[in-house]
């Protein structure tokens, strides 16, 4: 659920079909946030608003923020107050007023690659003293075979993969340091492996969740050839004997807080 630089755009219907598991697997993160009635919460990278709605059901006053107009529209259709904004510009966004008791983010921070420190600094500025930042996103090694295949096949076609790769997958130590640089106290932070069965063929995952790579190639034969070549590199390692595709997800989950004023 992006809220930063996401070349290639997003389609809410495709996301709901091919990536609903992203929100479905986030129940533990919502419990970790423990939203309370009346709290003001910013959902950073709210996507189509499924998790925002869960927070609202728990009594929170939620503002959803996403860089994708299509996903923000889908969130609004779900009844969420959602705006289109870049996660790198939280501190200066005129459409965001005041501060929040918590900032929540699921599967979005790894899309904010341009300057992750600016994103974290913006979150800090948007929190009240004592406010908490609770998030989960891709950590070091996340979908590594898929990323490697995407990059290799782009390079084989004469395209520099560094210009396409949209993801930021930091180590625990790197992200902890960034949080502390912003002024946060880190209460907990850890990465864990979470092999995830995909709802369909990996080709669907690629066209929905690796759009910056895929859309670099012209629609039609060139794009189909690229996706097929990436799939061919992955089939032996990621497809099981029953034909199911298992993506090697690695998640980095943390709870940090802005210190209370004294």
Q: What is the pLDDT of residues 169-208, one digit of tens each?
A: 999 999 999 999 999 999 999 999 999 999 899 999 999 8
C-alpha–C-alpha distance, residues 4 and 19, integer Å: 18
* pLDDT at residue 6 greater than cutoff 50: no
C-alpha–C-alpha distance, residues 234 and 245, integer Å: 9
Rounded average pLDDT over 104-112: 96
Residue 192 near residue 251 (C-beta atoms within 8 A): yes
Rounded average pLDDT over 250-260: 97
Q: Tell me, what's the pLDDT at 21?
A: 53
92: Cα within 13 Å, side-chain hemisphere? 5
Of 5, 233, 255, 241, which Cα lies nearest the Cα of 112?
5
Helix 116-126 / helix 172-182 crossing angle, nearest 10 deg? 50
Q: Tell me, what's the pLDDT at 106?
A: 95
Q: What is the pLDDT of residues 114-160, one digit of tens each?
A: 999 999 999 999 999 999 999 999 999 999 999 999 999 999 999 99
Tell me the H-state helices in 86-220.
Answer: 116-126, 144-156, 172-182, 202-209, 211-214
Residue 127 near residue 103 (C-beta atoms within 8 A): yes
Pick the range with the lowest mean pLDDT from 18-22, 42-46, 74-78, 125-129. Answer: 18-22
Pairing of β 127-138 and β 246-257: antiparallel
* pLDDT at residue 15 greater than cutoff 70: no
pLDDT category of residue 19 using cuts at 50, 70 and 90:
very low
Pairing of β 81-84 and β 61-66: parallel
Burial class (CB in 10 A: 0-12, 13-18, 19+), 81: middle
* pLDDT at residue 1 greater than cutoff 70: no
Token pair 């995830």 in the structure block, residue: 196
Largest CA distance in the chain: 63
Rounded average pLDDT over 106-115: 96
Tell me the H-state helices in the chain.
Answer: 12-18, 20-24, 27-33, 50-57, 69-77, 116-126, 144-156, 172-182, 202-209, 211-214, 221-238
């Amino acid at each position: 659920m992006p809220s930063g630089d996401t070349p290639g755009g997003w389609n809410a219907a495709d996301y709901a079909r091919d990536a609903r598991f992203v929100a479905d697997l986030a129940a533990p993160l919502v419990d970790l946030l423990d939203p309370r009635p009346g709290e003001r919460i910013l959902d950073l990278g709210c996507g189509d608003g499924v998790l925002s709605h869960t927070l609202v059901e728990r009594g929170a006053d939620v503002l959803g923020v996403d860089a994708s107009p299509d996903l923000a529209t889908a969130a609004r259709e779900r009844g969420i107050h959602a705006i289109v904004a870049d996660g790198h510009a939280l501190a200066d966004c005129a459409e965001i007023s005041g501060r929040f008791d918590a900032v929540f983010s699921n599967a979005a921070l790894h899309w904010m690659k341009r300057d992750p420190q600016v994103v974290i600094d913006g979150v800090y500025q948007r929190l009240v003293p004592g406010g908490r930042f609770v998030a989960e996103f891709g950590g070091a090694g996340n979908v590594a075979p898929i990323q490697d295949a995407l990059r290799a096949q782009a390079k084989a076609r004469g395209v520099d993969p560094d210009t396409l790769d949209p993801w930021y997958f930091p180590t625990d130590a790197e992200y902890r340091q960034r949080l502390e640089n912003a002024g946060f106290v880190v209460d907990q932070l850890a990465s864990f492996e979470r092999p995830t069965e995909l709802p369909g063929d990996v080709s669907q995952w690629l066209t929905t969740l690796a759009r910056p790579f895929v859309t670099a190639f012209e629609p039609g034969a060139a794009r189909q050839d690229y996706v097929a070549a990436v799939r061919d590199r992955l089939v032996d390692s990621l497809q099981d004997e029953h034909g199911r595709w298992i993506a090697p997800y690695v998640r980095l989950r943390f709870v940090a807080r802005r210190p209370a004023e004294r």
